[in-house]
Amino acid sequence: MHDDRALVEARLKRVLDERIRPAVYPVSVPLTVEAWTAPGEPVPVEEGLAATHAPVAVGDAWGAPWATTWFKVTGEVPAEWAGRTVEAVLDLGFDERMPGFQCEALVYTPTGEPLKAVNPRNQWVRVGDPVAGGERVEWHLEAASNPVLLGDDPFRPTDLGDKETAGDEPQYRLERMDLAVFDRDVWELVADLEVVGELMEQLPVEGGRRWELLRAVSRCLDAVDLQDVNGTAAAARSHLAGVLSAPADASAHRISAVGHAHIDSAWLWPLRETVRKVARTTSNMTNLLETEDDFVYTMSQAQQYAWIKEHRPEVYAKVKKAVAEGRFVPAGGMWVESDTNMPGSEAMARQFVHGKRFFLDEFGVENEEAWLPDTFGFAAGLPQIIKAAGSKWLLTQKISWSQINKFPHHTFHWEGIDGTRIFTHFPPVDTYNCSMLGREIAHAASNFKDKGVARHSLAPTGWGDGGGGTTREMIAKAKRMKSLEGSAHVTWETPREFFEKAEAEYAEPPVWVGELYLELHRATLTSQARTKQGNRRSEHLLREAELWAATAAVRAGFPYPYEELDRIWKTVLLHQFHDILPGSSIAWVHREAEKTYAAVAAELNGIIDAAQRALAGEGTQELVFNAAAHDRTGIAAGGAGVPVVTGTVTVADRTGGGHVLDNGLLRVEIDARGLVVSAYDIEAGRETVAPGAAANLLQIHPDFPNMWDAWDVDEFYRNVVTDLTDVDTVTVVSATPHEVAVEVVRSFGASRATQVLTLAAGEKRLDIDTEVDWHETEKFLKAAFPVDIHADRYAAETQFGHLYRPTHTNTSWEAAKFEACNHRFVHLAEPGFGVALVNDSTYGHDVTRAVRPSDSGTTTTVRLSLLRAPRFPDPRTDQGVHRFRYALAPGATVVDAVREGYRINVPERRVTGSGAVAPLCTAGSDAVAVSAVKLADDGSGDVVVRLYEAGGGRARTSLALGFEATSVVATDLLERPLADAPAYTVEEGEVALSLRPFELVTLRFTR
């Protein structure tokens, strides 16, 4: 037989595009359209409905960037359409290639009831099936003219990302506003041909099944009268019935499809627009659930449910009904799909606390899965947090984006720093926006790495990022692939149903130990420094507010601010969303975030001040409150008193210029360039700075990645570096017996850096306070600390502990980690000596090693990433003044690094009062850190203490109580008793503890 395959395939494409798809709506009449543009921000629905509208027509331009236009559409169903299915087709000027990234609208009845949304891939509103003819129709469309920021020419700087700079040029043009007859037979024919045609393209040319499909398509197209598609569609479908009814092989891969719309809580749109995106998407999904019996839809992010509950209660009522029916599934159990690299220990825990509690309170749903399809890598401390929240599964997709190394598993156990293992799945479909294309289904089956021992994978199905969700077309295609020869089996299932099946069939999956590092988007650890500082400072202010409010409640009857803390926590957790905290959102988002963090700080400082004054009482004695996890200057962790300062500091001129600072523990030499050329540990008799090198060296690189400007830093940035050694001034600005400070000022480019280097009495630590007035573009600023340490690995703090990363690049996996995340410290050590570099607000860093030709010694260089200046999506990223605090601690152990990390992030507070304040609890070992002291969330007055082993070893110690407790019980993160936990008792005011490395324990005390 002659090979006519290419001919038939080309015929199929043209006939589908030009004749069959257009015939879905064979006849139409125009609707009458009027419009009103809301001034400023979106208005309440009632105001939009009542506004005075002006006539507009198809072809008219509309929609300034970020504006809201209320369209009123009216019309009458022609009498001759009686008995037929009729829909409105509402095209606001959509580009079907970009669902979720442009204009969209929610459709209301005249009484304000939301019906469904229209967007580029969902332009219809059902009138009747069938209609009687003569019906009057009226709808109101709340249309958002969100500008396209990531279009055909991506990553170009644009001012459209903030309403303050976007201008008022119309973005769209009305394309179609009609009533139309909907031809179900033609629509089904389209689905038949798409499924058969897309499957055909994925099958081997040598196989018989491909040719069976080809011949069926040819017969089908022969049966279509191109002059009467509607009259011949049903007959044409009969030629495909045979090939569509052939069942899939019993051994075929099995895909659990779950309806999904990954809606970024902010990204290329502001938070306020996400509120509306969620309402639009959930309206469409509840609409689909009413007509599609097998369909299951899942949505994560408790915050998004809370938004529609507050702003669109009519939509929320439909969601609650669908959840109760088990068709609309709350997933993930987190407040938002957060970043997991940068949130601190407590913040990561509270993501689950607030998310799971919302789903329990609102729906009675207990989530057992963490659902994070788009998060940019996963910290090694996360598995035990998931388990401590009462969950046991994790789903993500993003690791498939890694640039260099391909992850070896799709289903596996992920082991965290404490040994906790979580059953984890990476969908092999390699997208969280599956649209049921044949190539997606074929890729999922062929790509699945666990063949032979497992057969199930999951496919999140629906348009996402900017929302939209699953469409009726996707459901139609999935129905045909439920069991189809040559294809994987496709079944709509909930995440729970998938995980139960996957876990049951894979009794001994492989194990991956340590972080799930994404080899992409590494610059998200640095972009938008103010957002990152706001997060870090908010986390520690919340720690202080809970600690002092709980202490004051127990000691002085202080009213514990339950509602305020709950609200503030949710605000901070929202801003940990994986495009806000990483700095990859538009300017509008980060401008608002800065204001929000300032308001959070003001409110928390007010709570802290009120609680401390209640504790201090009346008096004139100056008390220092210590909210850090360890004692300092003689003041217990969690207590207050008069500090004890021992020792003195001296300053002398240095030969060759500069200054020498000495406190008897540490001698620091700052040269004439303002660089630290020596940090000598006097007790150890050991130099910290590598020979011939200088620490606290600011370095600047060009930084223009190949794509994803705010997200990425490409390794070639290292090829060019400028050491900032020119100096304006080096001056001793403060010299007391207890503290000496040297100020270094240097100018570079259009920017200026002012640093104050301080050595205090009794401390083996050099504090560095850096202020940068930053006016560079597409540059990367680092602070380098080359130390004389020979180590093949280093420790970086993560949630409830630390992980080790190699300092070498033996393999491509190690080389790919050229930029990584730490929280408060990085620690390097060789036997007998270590060095810590601690910080108050940075996350990105790199560590490299080199062998010195002079003495064959090893120089290991740690560099903090301070600032970037990408131009997309915010063209003015990080411009202006920034302040960073970090410190070098020679001779530090890992436990010392933990202590210094807390110290720099939780400064002392001074209050006048009558006397010392004893802490509510005291850990008996420096290796045990208390991460939270608070009152129980249920308002019972119980005291909750969360602690963890921080050194990476075993700890046998005790927790001493500063209040009377009648009982104690170990709980999960939601403060519910654990059935399998060790039994703890309070004996003589203490609780004995025996902790594994990095073990996390939450204790609840009844007073």
> Catalytic residue positions?
374
What is the phi/psi pair of residue 511, to 5°? Answer: -120, 135
What is the phi/psi pair of residue 596, to 5°? Answer: -65, -45
For residues 843 and 533, is the Cβ–Cβ distance under 8 A?
A: no
Please give the radius of gyration of the chain, using alpha carbons only, rounded to the nearest integer. Answer: 31
CA 872 from chain centre, in angstroms, equals: 19
Report how far residue 271's alpha carbon sits from residue 511's, in angstroms, rounded to the nearest whole number.
38
Report how far residue 843's alpha carbon sits from residue 536's, in angstroms, rounded to the nearest whole number.
10
If one counts every other C-beta atom within 10 angstroms of the C-beta of residue 482, the result is: 15
**Strand-pair category, 955-961 with 990-995:** antiparallel
Query: Under 8 Å CB-to-CB from 212, ≥6 apart: which residues?
Result: 243
Can the peptide bond before residue 831 be classed as cis, meaning omega within 30 degrees of 0?
no
Q: 632-643 burial, b if ≥16 CB within 10 A, otherwise e?
A: bbebbbbbbbee
- Residue 113's Cβ-count burial label (10 Å; 0-12, 13-18, 19+) is exposed
If one counts every other C-beta atom within 10 angstroms of the C-beta of residue 817, the result is: 17
For residues 411 and 504, is the Cβ–Cβ distance under 8 A?
A: no
Helix, strand and coil percent figures for the chain, each rounded to 5: 30, 30, 40
In degrees, rounded to 5, the angle at the alpha carbon of residue 510 between the alpha carbons of residues 507 and 511 is: 115
If one counts every other C-beta atom within 10 angstroms of the C-beta of residue 881, the result is: 12
3-state secondary structure of 861: strand
If one counts every other C-beta atom within 10 angstroms of the C-beta of residue 18, the result is: 10
Report how far residue 592's alpha carbon sits from residue 603's, in angstroms, rounded to the nearest whole number.
17
In degrees, rounded to 5, the angle at the alpha carbon of residue 324 between the alpha carbons of residues 323 and 330 is: 30
Give the DSSP letter string of 37-66: EPSSS---HHHHHHSPPEEE-TT-EE--TT
